[in-house]
A and B are shown apart, each in its own frame.
Chain A
Amino acid sequence: MYKRWFCSILILGFSLSLAAQSSPAQKKGDIDPGAMAALDKMGAYLRTLNTFQVKSVETTDDVLDNGQAVQSDRVVEILAVRPNRLLVEIKSDDVHPFFLYNGKNFTIYGQLINYYATVPAPPTIAGLIDDLEDKYGIDMPLVDLFLWGSPQSTADQAITSAIDIGPSSVGGTTCEQYAFRQNGLDWQVWIQQGNYPLPRKLVMTTLTEDARPRHSKLLTWNLAPSFNDAAFTFEPPKDAQKITIAEVTASASNDGKKSEKGGVK
């Protein structure tokens, strides 16, 4: 529908199309209830998944001092068993960490450096996610998958524009593509059509940086993974060395904006 509207604008003439592009794209209140309902349905469905495995192929832009955006790739694999078991593997250029959580302890293991650290953890995945972020400054990959449809989700209230773009294929699966705007962020989600409304692709554009850095994820799901309970408890490999995790201090979160991707193995 939106595509057709845009095409007709183009046909109307060059000047009119210019005018359409320079006018504010979407005002607050420009929300398609169908798009919001689809988002809620996806969230509610995600909350019904007690066990899932998901692989996410991701790209992220970093903005350099000179204002240029440069892209990096990573692959994240998550095995989640609600409410209290989690296995995460992150493969990127710089790091190859594993997170293991068994409802009692959280371990981070850096495979490239063969270091690990274990700390006591809250009794649920939700508690763990908060702890990781607040105490240790560790971002939980794919955190949205654990938040949509939960009381902690902030996305619904934040949305100022919601559009149904139409059907779109992701990796051969027919999805419905939706575009949302919220303060400082434009984002799109491709939700699988049919009885399994899973997010299959996500694209986020950060508007608060001039370079408009972009992040994308392509998701592959397995809703019936096989696993062994022992997989969630860390067994140190031979020669692995135990170290500690730095806790985030008040001053750490207030520090200046210069940051550097360094010291990573």
Chain B
Amino acid sequence: MNRSIRHLLSITFIVLLAGAPLLAQNRNASARTSVNKSANVNSNKNVNANVNKNVNVNTNQNVNVNVNKNVNVNSGSYYGGGCCYHSNTAAVVATTAIVTAAVVGSRVNTLPPACSVVVVNGLTYQHCGSTWYQPQFVGTSTTYVVVVAPR
């Protein structure tokens, strides 16, 4: 296997890992939707920012569920700085992190595969491997916060 094919494969691996456009753009701001409430402008942003912040904060501990995010967010600088070293680093981080448990209180936008729905005290939880997620509305979106096993 020559060098360029290996290079190509490693990039392909990253792309498969990401499963989303590598050049995904964050949405930083929105048009105001009200003339009476200037605070209105920022509330969506704040809520979204919170979700994103938590995801970023938990990058290291919680890469198993955040792989897509990390690769997307950093793809620009990775590829800007040369190919293989950084790409491989990302892959290694993702691979090793899969065995790490998610941190209670961290928040993700998508669940890992193979979860089962469990209802405890009338509230719905998602049980994924050894991790329990509680779905929550954040604004009008839904996110999943890692919780201790409900009882």
Interface residues of A (CB under 8 A from B): 58, 60-66, 68, 90, 94-95, 97, 108, 110, 113, 115, 117, 133, 136-139, 141, 143-144, 147-148, 152-155, 158, 180, 182, 184-185, 187, 202, 204-206, 209, 213-215, 241-246, 248-249, 251-253, 255-265
Contact = CB atoms under 8 A, between A and B. Distances in A.
B67 to A, nearest CB: 14
A208 B125 CA distance: 41
Given A139-B43, A143-B40, A252-B46, A204 B140 contact: no
B34 interface: yes
Interface residues of B, number: 51
B28 A215 contact: no
B137 A252 contact: no
B37 A147 contact: yes
A58 B137 CA distance: 23
Contacts of B56: 258
Contacts of B135: 113, 115, 241, 243
Contact of B140 (A60, A138, A249): A138
Contacts, number: 205
Contacts of A261: 27, 48
Interface in B36-69: 36-53, 56, 69
Given A137-B43, A147-B37, A263-B108, A90 B31 contact: no
Contacts of A245: 136-138
25 contacts: A61-B31, A63-B27, A64-B25, A97-B140, A110-B137, A113-B135, A115-B142, A137-B138, A138-B43, A138-B140, A184-B32, A185-B35, A204-B35, A209-B29, A243-B124, A244-B134, A245-B137, A248-B47, A251-B50, A253-B42, A258-B26, A259-B28, A259-B52, A262-B109, A265-B141
